[in-house]
Structure 1
Amino acid sequence: MQQQARGNAIGVIGLGAMGMGIATSMLEVGLPVIGCDVSERAREAFVAHGGRSVATPDELAAECDVVVLVVINAEQVEMVLFGERGLAGELAPGSLIMQCATVAPSYAVALGERLNAMNLEMLDAPISGGATKARTGELSVMSSGSDAAYAKGQAALDAMAAKVYRLGDSPGAGSSVKLVNQHLAGVHIAAAAEAMALGMRMGIDPDTLYEVITHSAGNSWMFENRVPHILKADYTPLSAVDIFVKDLNIVHQTGRELSLAMPVAASALQQFTAASGAGFGREDDAAVIKVYQRLSAFELPAANDIQGESSQ
């Protein structure tokens, strides 16, 4: 049974790299924020930033009328909303779920309909920009939803985003545009890895190659951002290989739903799947280059040759 909310705090579920950045950026502009994560360490880290935290989603219902979901996939969305200790059935009517995970557009549409039937608003609001921009409140949000959903979520959006794209008046459009972004991002990372493998296999110094390409027409944002991870031999997972296994699978699934062949995305998916299968799934997505290294005779930069910190 739904309860009447006793406050207007904002809940953030998922205090990973992106969620922690979003929650702390909201704190810094003075919003009342309560974080939620299964990890005690994550909860303690948020408290150290000056926030409050709870261990289960349903604990947010008494104080929050806006809840931002920054979880990994649709399965986790289901769990935090409708599973044991789930949130959706406990929120007051008119409360807002801002769903930021990358999910299939068809799932976003169905979720919006389910929440609407419970007298809850949903903003389909996938995000882009990485952990650094999450921390500074400069994300891009690809969003769709009703006017009421936008009005309810305006303070949260102002705190977390530099740009909010309003793409439609119901859930689905935001996730559709995010899927196009993830198609390109995954393909660009795989292409950057393959190009660097080609250069190193030909004996070109990788630092020189990076310098030339970033000042040439072949450059891309992903090449410029991810190749330094390779050069520094730092595969700390700012965005993991397995994220693109998931996201490119969603691209592939959506293509099948639309009878649209996407051979370039399929090729990139195979490379990320191979990297995951080789044991690199939890490493940074730049680790897809290790698939090429295993198949050919070239050396990757070694950690003990590196100075400086990993690129964000």
Structure 2
Amino acid sequence: MTKIISREKPKIAFVGLGAMGIGMAIHLLEDGFPVSGFDVNPMALERLLAMGGTAASNPRECAQDASFFICMVANSTQIEQALFAESTGAIFGLKNDAIVILCSTVSPGFPQEVLSQVHNRFSRPDIQIIDSPVSGGTIRATQGTLTIMSSGPENILKISQPILQSLGEALYSIEGGLGSANKVKLINQHLAGIHIAVAAEIMGLVATMGLNTQQLYQMVLNSPAHSWMFENRVPHMLSNDWSPHSALGIFIKDMRIVTSEGLSRSFPLYVASAAEQLYRFAALSGYEKEDDAGIVRIFIPHNLSLVSAAAQQQSHADDQPKYDLISHMLEIIHGVTAVEALALAIKLDLSIKSLAPIISNAAGTSRSFETVASRMMGKDSTNMRTLVQSRNILAKAMILAQAYNYPLQITATTLQLLQQALVHGLGDEDHTSLLALWSP
């Protein structure tokens, strides 16, 4: 009998064992990779130990003898702390030719800044970096079925492939060099952040009007108004579950990255900016560390459980036109959001042809996005609602909300964009013509 000798898998250091990070680290363990972990939360380290990993007291200790260093912390400041903190930073423990995989969502220029510090400030030209932001949530992190976007030197991406394949089901190598993957992630977060915020705005309206929130949810799932975030986050609203599956503070950071990119490029981001302000208001209301679906509570401060309670509301046959109006309203907002995101993608020199399938496999997808992207690429010739028709629907929704003294900030911003398009003579065109508002 021939003895089969398995090749030993490389050791991985993993810093950032939060809601998604712990699932990713455990999945790597299950795939046979030795994993050393560090996190400021001792409970996360205990869980890693229970699953067969090892726990370190700081990033430097964590990085000892590891061929790969995965950073899944919350933001760029924490990345710099993990890598460069005096005496405890991973840079002082990384072995020769180690590869740093940045899985956190950061600004597109940040990975190159990190590489410059590694090579120049700390004189470690042997260490290479790839940026590999992930999308998919806590469940897919545990299952190893994340969507992963990666960019960096081609040979380093190839060496890192077994690690990325363990963590993700849909892997995309993004051309354009280090930081390009975070351009794609920025577009995804633009869409996902708005989708959560508008889902909250819509569900609060439905509850305030005395309609059945569960019925509206089921209706949207099977309609053109569907988005991945609506399907995923509205159940949290319906069950009053604010445990941090994904903390609201993450989208404060991510939407800031999006809008800051727009500001640095003098590029207007109307809907994204409106959504960012809603997240900031929710944080001021004390919801920053709770689930991002909890943003719905800023719309219903008089009864924070109203969306959940309205799931039991009795439905009436004459309410159907209201459900239809709200569903159309959501579809239109998703469509305008898609155009804004794709306009930003073009500004970032991303190809819509390459971007569209990635977003369709990530949390930022919606049926409206898929339709708009297909039409922009000339692949979809089906009739779409005209801008004047969309404008009239949103105007009707605004008037309805006014009767309930209910705020519709994202809806109002979208309506103003449509009215601006009408001023430019685009009323008889479909949503894709809105691209002209961002064109020189």
Q: Same fold (TM over 0.5)?
A: yes
Distance 1:108 1:63 in 2: 23
- 1:78 corresponds, among 57, 77, 80, to 80
C-alpha spacing 1:264/1:57, structure 2 compared with 1 (3 Å): same
Distance 1:277 1:121 in 2: 39
Distance 1:170 1:91 in 2: 23
- Deviations along 1:160-204, whole A, 9 cap, x unmatched? 011111002521101111111000000000111111112112211
Q: Which structure shows the higher strand fraction?
A: 1
Point out where structure 1 has 5 or more consecutive residues left out of the alignment. Answer: 1-6, 306-312
Letter in 2 for 1:27: L
SS in 2 for 1:105: coil
Shift of 1:298: 8.8
Partner of 1:52: 54
SS in 1 for 2:20: helix
Shift of 1:238: 0.6
Matched, 1:92 2:88: no
Report matched runs for 1:99-138 at 5 Å.
99-117=102-120, 118-119=124-125, 120-138=127-145
Contact 1:201 1:297 in 2 (8 A): no
Shift of 1:233: 0.7
Contact 2:19 2:246 in 1 (8 A): no
Shift of 1:90: 2.9
Report matched runs for 1:125-274 at 5 Å.
125-168=132-175, 170-274=177-281
SS in 2 for 1:17: coil
C-alpha spacing 1:295/1:167, structure 2 compared with 1 (3 Å): farther
Letter in 2 for 1:32: P
Contact 2:133 2:185 in 1 (8 A): yes
Letter in 2 for 1:114: Q
Distance 2:110 2:210 in 1: 47
Distance 1:61 1:279 in 2: 36
SS in 1 for 2:67: strand
- Deviations along 1:5-36, whole A, 9 cap, x unmatched? xx941111111121111111111111111111
SS in 2 for 1:162: strand
C-alpha spacing 1:39/1:297, structure 2 compared with 1 (3 Å): closer
TM-score of the two chains, using structure 2 as the length reference: 0.65
Distance 1:224 1:297 in 2: 21
Q: Which structure shows the higher helix fraction?
A: 2
SS in 2 for 1:288: helix
- Deviations along 1:219-259, whole A, 9 cap, x unmatched? 11111110000001111111111111111011111111111
Distance 1:52 1:74 in 2: 25
Letter in 2 for 1:66: F
Letter in 2 for 1:198: L
Letter in 2 for 1:33: V
SS in 2 for 1:12: strand
Distance 2:273 2:57 in 1: 38
Greater C-alpha radius of gyration: 2
Runs of 4+ more than 6 Å apart: 295-298
Partner of 1:310: none
- Alpha-carbon RMSD: 1.9
Distance 1:293 1:42 in 2: 34
Aligned residues: 298
Percent same amino acid at aligned positions?
37
Shift of 1:65: 1.5
Shift of 1:113: 2.9
Matched, 1:24 2:26: yes
Distance 1:152 1:65 in 2: 11
Contact 1:112 1:171 in 2 (8 A): no
Contact 2:131 2:182 in 1 (8 A): yes
Partner of 2:347: none
Letter in 2 for 1:46: L
C-alpha spacing 1:297/1:43, structure 2 compared with 1 (3 Å): closer
SS in 1 for 2:222: coil
TM-score of the two chains, using structure 1 as the length reference: 0.91
Shift of 1:92: 2.5
